[in-house]
Amino acid sequence: MPPFDVPEGDPFGPHNLPYGVFSPPGSSERTVGVRLGDHVLDAGAAAHALGSPYASLLARQTLNPLLAAGRTAWSDVRRALTAWVTVPAHRETVEPLFHPLSEVTLHLPFEVADYVDFYASENHARNVGRMFRPDAADSLTPNWKHLPIGYHGRAGTVVVSGTDVVRPSGQRKAPTDAVPVYGPSVRLDIEAEVGFVVGVPSELGRPVPLGDFRDHVFGLCLLNDWSARDVQAWEYVPLGPFLGKSFTTSVSAWITPLDALDEARVAPPERTHELLPYLDDAAEEPGGYDLRITVTVNGHVVSEPPFSTMYWTAAQQLAHMTVNGASLRTGDLYGSGTVSGPAERERGSLLELTWNGRDPLELPDGKRTFLEDGDVVTLSAWAPGPDGVRVGLGEVTGRVVPTV
């Protein structure tokens, strides 16, 4: 079907228009693409063909120039693209610049600057607390309701969907072991998350207030924070996650602009603790997003985590990570933290789904506690869009391959 004739109700219709970076068939050249249905528009070529001033932002090898251009430019480019793919007068010029999605190579869409990962799901944090601190009076740590807990991860190992995940090796020490051992992780896990992509930098020394979130953050993607639980358990005290997380983080190939997700905005869960002014969002526009995530292992659905249940919003996370004066750079990526809903089959990690390996998942191809070599994990998602149409968020997938 020609790209202009994308069926009504397609989650990748003209209401969505996510951005990626691709190489056309038979080429290794990278350029910015925009997805429409099951096609990719060479956005830079379209800008050139139509004499658009946005060619300088779109005929590029990464999304970073567009990310840096700022909110007004983001809106203007999106408006132009919408016209290019919907106005019949453009059809003859634009239609030859589409490629079938199945024939292109998709790349990591932006150069990742800094990478931060949070811990913003109350259900996830309580599950982890119950498992690892069963004797504590509260399953949440005392700080949890006062600040969005996070850590700095490794930007250079963020990879695009489809990249194999090599099973990491590291130190581990079970409570019953006398000394630590080194070897391939035997508790390799996933974390179903949403990643937020920063476009506009901020100045060193100047915190970004809650209300400036949309001036800095361009869009979101799906993110799988692969985690070696055995490595993590032995190394994390007292400075937090390190090698159990830094080996690979996968992101979806498509970045959905926040401008495509206005209908998905929802109020976050009710706040149970009074917040310091820089985090108090009671008077702000709704900061939550209603994103419906599905997690599959080897094609079998194991979980459907609801992003709307996240306690801390992306705006609060941005405000918190800059409140000390730390600056933002174009291409900064921050993960929401594992998304877990209140129900058992809404949990975003195998750690929780199997209760630390106690309750294996029964899959058609066998029982699973943690991941085995050859397993393929895919996160996909959608959000409510205009007139009841879904906004597709694509997918992030990865296959576990044996330690080299």
Task: Give the CB-nearest residue to Mn ion.
Answer: 225
Closest to Mn ion by CB, 117 or 122: 117
Closest to Mn ion by CB, 117 or 281: 117
Cα dihedral 181, 184, 185, 190, rounded to 10, equals 160
Residues near Mn ion (CB under 5 A) are 117, 191, 225
**Nearest-5° Cα angle at 297, 367 to 121:** 105
Phi/psi at 387 (5° precision): 55, 35
**Peptide bond before 238: cis, by omega within 30 degrees of 0?**
yes
H-only helix segments in 265-383: 314-322, 350-353
DSSP string, 195-206: EEEE-S---TT-
Closest to Mn ion by CB, 179 or 239: 239
Q: How far is the CB of 337 from Mn ion (least distance, A)?
A: 6
Which helix or strand (DSSP H or E) is residue 176 part of?
none
Q: How far is the CB of 118 from Mn ion (least distance, A)?
A: 8
Q: How far is the CB of 63 from Mn ion (least distance, A)?
A: 23
Which helix or strand (DSSP H or E) is residue 71 part of?
helix 71-86
Distance CA 161, CA 34 (A): 17
The reply to whether 124 belongs to the active site is yes
Q: How far is the CB of 111 from Mn ion (least distance, A)?
A: 21
Distance CA 303, CA 362 (A): 13
Q: How far is the CB of 3 from Mn ion (least distance, A)?
A: 36
Closest to Mn ion by CB, 114 or 225: 225
Closest to Mn ion by CB, 225 or 230: 225
Local structure of 209: helix, strand or coil: coil
Amino acid at 197: V
* Burial per residue of 251-281, b for 16 or more beta-carbon CB atoms within 10 angstroms, e otherwise: bbbbbbbbbbbebbbbebeeeeeeeeeebeb
Catalytic residue among 99, 124, 216, 320: 124
Output the six-digit token pair for 224. Answer: 């799988």
Q: How far is the CB of 175 from Mn ion (least distance, A)?
A: 24
Distance CA 342, CA 305 (A): 9
Q: How far is the CB of 116 from Mn ion (least distance, A)?
A: 10
Phi/psi at 351 (5° precision): -50, -50
Distance CA 90, CA 50 (A): 8
Closest to Mn ion by CB, 31 or 252: 252
Q: What residues contact residue 26 under an 8 Å CB cut-off, 6+ apart?
A: none
Of the candidates 373, 377, 378, 369, the residue with the CA atom closest to the CA atom of residue 350: 369
Residue numbers annotated as active site: 124
